[in-house]
């Protein structure tokens, strides 16, 4: 029992470290888009938003600890279920405390007014390079534009042109050019997410803040059971290192699978099958049931599998 | 095998396999439409090594994890034994990456650029041949030949083009063109007649005949000239019934024409004449040799040959070149004094100017392509602008230009077809100085580095990139992309060291209990594939560190911020490795 509690405690510490790392990354990404000065507030906000991700990551790390130290697989399963449920429920409850959310600013992309590109330095946008010497009373001086995408000759010059602060455009030789400072390309950690129509588990749970708590817990529970079902990855081969690497890839796969099932054609297909079976449940509950069922089946298969010969005793 | 040796062997094996895998991937994704066959191998190897260095951190993680994770012994002993080889390997591979990546990037870029140039020109040559524009087709084919003359497509097109040219020549010979009569000029005719007389008196009947004939052409009513020409011709004939005399007379007159052009300050025209004579089997004539050399020297002082520019501009070039001539170095001359001329559209001349407000004159160079070769910088489709106290002072455009020896040469001559001369078009200026060049005190190498730093910063060495980031604003170039590139480069050593530490940690923690079966190594490729999404995610977090550092600190200071964050991450990884021990239940191999 002491070992079992020890593993749970260690997992809770790992959870805290994971939350800090994830929220720092997300806070940095959000503050890059909307303003560096908001980094601490965004980090705190992201810490609440990303709890579901941190919980699932903690569960995957805990798979190995339970596998190593707890001989009873049922005790291991129970420990993981309790760990996941407690952390997830705590996270959901934290999200639903209005005063916390109200005290943290939500990251909102502000439509900034165009700023002119720095004087004396060329800037290139859509194949057009623009340079000007200085700015004086709202005019750009000695502006040179070269449209490399057009036929030769391409150079246009104006000794003084009005910079329109509303549009960021300047008129050079009868043609308008974009003289606004180029906006850096936003960084997305998972740009591949755009290929499917679904939403990440943490985004879906965040969107359910005003929904009944049982519905939210059901959605979260389905995801946790699905994650727990993949515990078999921690002993799929006799080489623990290979298992760890496969589990890392499996974790990415589960998060993506959950998101893919939550939207688009997959969501419609699940709803269609449910209708055929006479189940009239909400889409959220349908998905939770499906994920929970898959997780439980995989978990039962894992429990039924013969233990390894070199099984390690916990004491 | 000791822990250290296992690490070196595993790293060597995994890295070699990775390079081969990247090469195979490059070979599989090869397309002749993108890279021409003669450059395929160069491109494939560049891609393979660039891919290897891009994934180096992930490969180091895998190598360390596998070598320690398949070893026997106490975790702390294994990790301790891994420290030195891991550090040495990480340092060597990071240094190799920092040194090798810029030339590899340059090699890949040049292969892609040359292929794009080749394919574009081949298409254009075919199009022009089909539409009957043989001259343009030949010019485009010359670009293809400069890039890859041995390509079978080039040879095939060349033979088709030659056939079309022969056919066109035959057709052109049919309707004999009548020479347009020269305008009457009795004064010049008199001068030529007097020269003819002088040559006649000296007994130089060839020269006398040519000058008298020229006088006759200038003034057909000049009977003395007609008479003298006939007399000189008779004397030539009377010297002996030599059928070669007619040819000799033509040769002589051509030689005189070239000489006249040379003395009149037209070395390009003289070069054209003497080159024609040299090509027409008169290359042994001492006069032709002497004046051809003199004309060549004169041409090189005021123009350049297209073949000098053709190959570099077709193979290793910077496209969409834009540079401001730095103020301090531009003070030498420029294209001449101020001009009040109104410029043609789209150029606006206005009273306000750079100098009026106390600023230095603005000098801008823009070109479709720029390429450095033999210490000179060549441009195609160049535009040069100079704005001073009275607004626009000079604006010139030229198909080809060469920057060397403090001069921007604007006239380009075809070496083998000297009649083909590409001349500049001045929209404004020049007010003083020749129209064929602009005095411009700009170092070609420095200018090319500045241009490269703008379009392909990854092809510069780390030191060059650092210098370029400092120098860029002088050339009107935004240093931000360069700083971004330096941030990316500086992340590699941190990434490799951190990955090595984490790999050692993973290998130590997840070792197999008991003896290790060799068959388990078959799992390594699957493990490598499984690590791909994890490595990609880690790479993006690393990019985020670069971007965030660039956002919080200005220019080069962001390098220090990024290095600080990455050092912190590395420190945490090293601390985790340092804490690895064979604690009860911590590993699988108790």
- How do residues B125-143 score in pLDDT, each as one tens digit? 999 999 988 888 988 898 8
Listed in order, strand segments (DSSP E) in B179-325 are 304-305, 318-324
pLDDT at B588 over 70: no
Of the candidates B90, B80, B64, B76, the residue with the CA atom closest to the CA atom of residue B6 = B64
Distance from CA of A251 to the nearest CA of B (A): 10
Give, as one character, the DSSP assignment of residue B281: I
pLDDT bracket for residue A309 (50, 70, 90): very low
Residue A314 has pLDDT above 50, yes or no: no
Max distance between CA atoms of chain B, in angstroms, equals 123
Interface check for A312 against chain B (CB to CB < 8 A): the answer is: yes
Backbone φ, ψ for residue A230 (5° rounding): -90, 20
Residue with the larger pLDDT of the pair B337 and B95:
B95
Other CB atoms within a 10 A radius of the CB of residue A256 amount to 18
Q: State mean pLDDT over B522-547.
A: 92
Cβ pair B477:A187 closer than 8 A? no
- Mutation target to probe the B interface, by most B beta carbons within 10 A, among A155, A230, A256 is A155
- Of the pLDDT bands very low, low, confident and very high (cuts 50, 70, 90), residue A248 is very high
pLDDT attached to residue B358 = 53
Among A129-143, A278-292, B43-57, B340-354, the least confident range:
B340-354
All residues at 6 or more sequence positions from B505 whose CB lies less than 8 Å from its CB, including other chains: B79, B573, B576, B577, B580
Question: Six-digit token pair at A208?
Answer: 């359910």
Q: Which of residues 12-71 of A touch B (CB under 8 A)?
A: 25, 28-29, 31-32, 36, 64, 68-69
Residue B60 has pLDDT above 90, yes or no: yes
Residue that has been written with the tokens 């006088």 in this structure: B215
DSSP state of B458: G
SS3 B343: coil
Please give the residue that has the higher pLDDT: either B155 or B291: B155
Residue B405 CA to residue B465 CA, distance in Å, equals: 25
CB contact under 8 A, B352 and A141: yes
User: Distance (Å, rounded) from C-alpha A242 to C-alpha B588?
Assistant: 13
Q: Is the pLDDT of residue B342 over 50?
A: no
For residue B265, what pLDDT is reported?
Answer: 77
Extract long-range pairs of A190-197: CB within 8 Å, 24+ residues apart.
A190/B537, A190/B540, A193/A259, A196/A256, A196/A259, A196/A260, A196/A263, A196/A264, A197/A263, A197/A264, A197/A265
pLDDT band at A83 (very low <50, low <70, confident <90, very high): very high
Task: Name the pairing type of β-strands B304-305 and A175-178.
Answer: unpaired
Q: Is the distance from CB of B214 to CB of B192 less than 8 angstroms?
A: yes
Inter-chain residue contact B387 with A157, CB threshold 8 Å? yes
Q: How far apart are CA A84 and CA A60, in angstroms?
A: 10
Low-confidence winner among B60-69, B234-243, B380-389, B533-542 (lowest mean pLDDT) = B234-243
Note the pLDDT of residue B345. 42
| Contact list, B353 vs chain A (CB under 8 Å) | 142, 159
Nearest chain A residue (CA) to B398 = A153
Confidence of residue B589 (pLDDT cuts 50, 70, 90): very low
Contacts of B498 in chain A (CB under 8 A): none
Do A131 and B476 lie within an 8 Å CB cutoff?
yes
Longest C-alpha distance within chain A, in Å?
Answer: 85
Report the pLDDT value the prediction gives residue B343, as an integer from 0 to 100: 37
Cβ contact (<8 Å) for B350 and A158? yes
B516: chain A residues, CB-CB within 8 Å: 239
- Which phi and psi (to 5°) does residue B357 adopt? -95, 15
User: Tokens 């329109």 belong to which residue?
Assistant: A164
SS (H, E, C) B43-77: HHHHHHHHHHHHCHHHHHHHHHHHHHHCCCCCHHH
CA A1 to chain CA centroid, nearest Å: 36
Q: Per-residue confidence at A307, pLDDT binned at 50, 70, 90?
A: low
For residue B474, give Cα distances in angstroms to A118, A122, B327, B362, B363. 13, 11, 8, 12, 12
Whether residue A219 lies within 8 A of chain B, CB to CB, comes out as: no
Average pLDDT for residues B576-586, to the nearest whole number?
60
Digit-coded pLDDT (tens) for A85-111: 999 999 998 888 888 877 777 766 655
Q: Quick one: pLDDT at residue A108?
A: 65
Residue-by-residue DSSP string for chain A = -HHHHHHHHHHHHHHHHHHHHHHHHHHHHHHHHH-GGGHHHHHHHHHHHTHHHHHHHHHHHHHHHHHHH---HHHHHHHHHHHHHHHHHHHHHHHT-HHHHHHS-------PPPPBPPTTSBEEETTEEEE-SEEETTEEEEEEEEETTSPSP-EEEEEEEEEETTTTEEEETTEEEE-BPPPPPPP-S-GGGGGSS---HHHHHHTTTTS-HHHHHHHHHHHHHHHHHGGGGGGSSS-HHHHHHHHHHHHHHHHHHHHHHTSHHHHHHHHHHHHHTT----HHHHHHHHHHHHHHHHHHHHHHSPPPTTPPP--
| Nearest beta carbon to residue A155 from set B385, B477, B586 | B385
In angstroms and rounded to an integer, the radius of gyration of the C-alpha atoms of chain A is 27
The nearest CA of chain A is from the CA of B295 a distance in Å of 32
Q: Do A32 and B548 touch (CB under 8 A)?
A: yes
Summarised one tens digit per residue, pLDDT across range A26-74 is 888 888 877 778 888 888 888 888 999 999 999 999 998 888 888 788 8
B346's tokens: 């789209």
**Residue B437 near residue B409, CB atoms below 8 Å:** yes
- Please check the confidence at residue B54 and state whether its pLDDT lies above 90: yes
Is A243's Cβ below 8 Å from some Cβ in B?
A: yes
- CB count within 10 Å of CB B286 equals 7
Instruction: Evaluate if residue B582 carries a pLDDT over 60.
Output: no
Does A36 sit within 8 Å of B506, measured CB to CB?
no
Considering only CB atoms, which chain A residues are within 8 Å of B477?
A: 121-122
Checking if the pLDDT of B51 tops 60, the result is: yes
Q: Is the pLDDT of residue B563 over 70?
A: yes
pLDDT at B43 over 90: yes
pLDDT grade for B1, boundaries at 50, 70 and 90: low
Q: Which of B321-335, B350-364, B382-396 has the lowest mean pLDDT?
A: B350-364
- For residues B238-260, average pLDDT: 70
Q: Per the confidence metrics, is the pTM higher than 0.90?
A: no
Average pLDDT, chain B: 83
pLDDT at A296: 93
Q: How far is B399 from chain A (nearest CA, A)?
A: 9
Which residues on B lie below 8 Å from A2 (Cβ)? none
Closest CA of chain B from A279, distance in Å: 37
Determine the residue among B528, B551, B558, B573 to mutate to test chain A binding: the one whose Cβ has the most chain A Cβ atoms within 10 Å. B551
Contacts of A3 in chain B (CB under 8 A): 585
pLDDT at position B73, please? 77
Top-ranked range on mean pLDDT: pick from B297-301, B336-340, B545-549? B545-549
Q: Which fold has domain B186-302?
A: 1.25.40
- For residue B587, what pLDDT band results from cuts at 50, 70 and 90? very low
Best of B67, B366, B399 to substitute, by most chain A Cβ atoms within 10 angstroms, is: B366
pLDDT above 90 for B103: yes
Is residue B419 within 8 Å of residue B376, measured between CB atoms? no
Percent of residues, chain A, with pLDDT higher than 90: 32
CA distance B377 to chain A (A): 19
Which residue ranges make up each domain of chain B?
3-131, 186-302, 305-341+355-473, 478-578
How many Cβ atoms from other residues are within 10 Å of residue A249's Cβ?
18
Phi then psi for residue B323, to 5 deg, are -150, 145
Q: Considering only the beta carbons, identify the residue of B349, B477, B551 that sits closest to A121.
A: B477
Chain A partners within 8 Å of B532 (Cβ): 249
Residue-level pLDDT at A176 = 92
Tell me which chain B residue has its CA closest to the CA of residue A236: B523
Contact B364 A155 (CB under 8 A): yes
Beta-carbon separation of B366 and A146 below 8 A: yes
Distance CA B250, CA B258 (A): 12
How does residue B183 score in pLDDT terms, banded at 50, 70 and 90?
low
Pairwise CB contact (< 8 Å): B350 & A188: no
Residues in Cβ contact with B153 at an 8 Å cutoff, skipping those fewer than 6 apart = B122, B144
The reply to whether residue B512 touches residue A238, judged by beta carbons under 8 angstroms, is: yes
Return d(Cα A252, Cα A304) in angstroms, integer.
Answer: 26
CA distance A123 to chain B (A): 7
Do the Cβ atoms of B354 and A245 come within 8 Å? no
Q: Which residues contact B425 (CB under 8 A, 6 or more apart)?
A: B396, B397, B398
* From A131, A134, A173, residue closest to B346, measured CB to CB: A173
Mutate to test the interface with B, among A36, A157, A182, A246 (most CBs of B within 10 A): A157
pLDDT of residue B580: 64
Inter-residue contact B59 to B12 (CB < 8 Å): no
Q: What number is the ipTM of this complex?
A: 0.84
For residue A187, give the nearest of B324, B547, B586 by CB distance: B547
Please check whether residue A120 touches B, CB under 8 A: yes
Contact A246 B526 (CB under 8 A): yes
Q: B324 and A172 in contact by Cβ < 8 A?
A: no
């Amino acid at each position: 029992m002491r070992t079992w509690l020890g593993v749970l405690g260690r997992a809770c510490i790992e959870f805290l470290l994971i939350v800090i790392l994830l929220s720092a990354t997300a806070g940095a990404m959000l503050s890059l888009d909307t303003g560096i000065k908001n980094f601490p507030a965004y980090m705190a906000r992201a810490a609440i938003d990303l709890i579901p991700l941190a919980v699932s990551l903690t569960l995957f790390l805990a798979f190995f600890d339970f596998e190593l130290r707890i001989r009873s697989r049922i005790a291991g399963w129970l420990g993981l279920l309790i760990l996941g449920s407690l952390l997830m429920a705590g996270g959901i409850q934290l999200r639903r405390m209005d005063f916390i959310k109200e005290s943290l600013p939500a990251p909102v992309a502000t439509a900034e007014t165009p700023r002119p590109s720095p004087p004396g330095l060329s800037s290139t946008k859509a194949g057009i390079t623009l340079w000007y010497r200085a700015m004086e009373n709202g005019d750009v001086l000695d502006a040179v534009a070269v449209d490399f995408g057009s036929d030769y000759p391409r150079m246009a010059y104006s000794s003084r042109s009005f910079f329109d602060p509303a549009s960021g455009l300047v008129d050079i030789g009868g043609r308008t050019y974009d003289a606004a400072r180029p906006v850096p390309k936003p960084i997305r950690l998972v740009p591949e997410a755009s290929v499917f129509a679904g939403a990440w588990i943490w985004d879906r749970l965040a969107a359910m803040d005003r929904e009944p708590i049982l519905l939210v817990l059901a959605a979260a529970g389905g995801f946790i059971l699905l994650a727990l079902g993949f515990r078999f990855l921690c002993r799929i081969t006799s080489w623990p290192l290979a298992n760890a690497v496969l589990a890392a890839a499996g974790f990415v796969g589960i998060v993506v699978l959950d998101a893919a099932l939550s939207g688009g054609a997959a969501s419609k297909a699940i709803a269609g099958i449910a209708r055929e079976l006479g189940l009239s449940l909400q889409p959220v509950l349908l998905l939770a049931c499906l994920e929970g069922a898959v997780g439980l089946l995989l978990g039962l298969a894992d429990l039924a599998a013969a233990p390894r010969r070199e099984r390690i005793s916990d004491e | 095998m000791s822990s250290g040796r296992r690490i070196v062997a595993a790293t060597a094996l995994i890295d070699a396999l990775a390079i081969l895998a990247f090469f195979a991937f490059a070979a599989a994704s090869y397309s002749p439409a993108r890279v021409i066959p003669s450059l395929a191998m160069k491109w494939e190897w560049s891609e393979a090594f660039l891919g290897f260095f891009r994934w180096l951190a992930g490969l180091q993680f895998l190598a360390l994890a596998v070598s320690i994770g398949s070893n026997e012994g106490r975790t702390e002993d294994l990790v301790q034994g891994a420290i030195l080889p891991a550090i040495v390997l990480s340092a060597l591979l990071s240094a190799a990456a920092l040194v090798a990546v810029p030339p590899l990037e340059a090699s890949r870029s040049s292969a892609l650029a040359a292929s794009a140039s080749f394919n574009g020109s081949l298409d254009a040559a075919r199009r022009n041949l089909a539409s009957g524009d043989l001259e343009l087709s030949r010019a485009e084919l010359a670009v293809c030949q400069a890039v890859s003359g041995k390509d079978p497509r080039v040879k095939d097109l060349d033979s088709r083009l030659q056939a079309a040219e022969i056919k066109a020549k035959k057709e052109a010979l049919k309707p004999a063109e009548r020479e347009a009569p020269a305008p009457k000029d009795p004064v010049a005719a008199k001068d030529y007649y007097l020269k003819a007389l002088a040559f006649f008196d000296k007994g130089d009947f060839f020269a006398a005949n040519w000058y008298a004939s020229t006088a006759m052409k200038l003034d057909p009513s000049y009977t003395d000239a007609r008479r003298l020409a006939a007399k000189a011709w008779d004397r030539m004939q009377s010297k002996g019934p030599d059928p070669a005399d007619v040819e000799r007379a033509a040769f002589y007159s051509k030689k005189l024409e070239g000489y006249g052009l040379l003395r009149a300050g037209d070395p390009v025209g003289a070069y054209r004449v003497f080159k024609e004579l040299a090509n027409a089997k008169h290359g042994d004539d001492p006069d032709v040799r002497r004046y051809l050399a003199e004309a060549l020297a004169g041409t090189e002082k005021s123009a350049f040959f297209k073949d000098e520019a053709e190959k570099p501009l077709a193979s290793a070039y910077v496209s969409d070149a834009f540079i401001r001539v730095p103020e301090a170095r531009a003070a030498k001359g420029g294209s001449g004094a101020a001009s009040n001329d109104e410029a043609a559209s789209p150029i606006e001349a206005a009273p306000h100017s750079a100098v009026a407000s106390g600023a230095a004159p603005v000098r801008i160079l823009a070109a479709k392509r720029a390429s450095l070769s033999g210490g000179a910088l060549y441009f195609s489709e160049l535009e040069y602008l100079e704005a001073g106290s009275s607004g626009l002072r000079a604006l010139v455009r030229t198909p080809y230009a060469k920057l060397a020896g403090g001069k921007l040469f604007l006239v380009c001559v075809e070496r083998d077809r000297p009649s083909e001369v590409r001349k500049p078009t001045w929209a404004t200026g020049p007010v003083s100085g020749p129209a064929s060049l602009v005095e411009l005190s700009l170092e070609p190498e420095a200018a090319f580095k500045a241009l490269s730093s703008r379009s392909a910063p990854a092809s510069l060495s780390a030191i060059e990139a650092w210098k370029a980031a400092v120098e860029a604003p002088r050339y009107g170039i935004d240093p931000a992309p360069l700083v971004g590139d330096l941030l990316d480069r500086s992340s590699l050593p941190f990434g490799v060291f951190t990955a090595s530490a984490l790999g050692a940690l993973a290998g130590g923690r997840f070792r197999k209990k008991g003896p290790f079966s060799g068959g388990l190594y078959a799992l390594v490729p699957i493990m490598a594939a499984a690590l791909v999404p994890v490595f990609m995610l880690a790479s993006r977090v690393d990019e985020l560190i670069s971007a965030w550092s660039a956002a919080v600190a200005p220019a080069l200071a962001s390098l220090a911020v990024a290095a600080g964050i990455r050092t912190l991450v590395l420190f945490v990884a090293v601390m985790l490795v340092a804490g690895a021990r064979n604690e009860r239940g911590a590993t699988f191999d108790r």
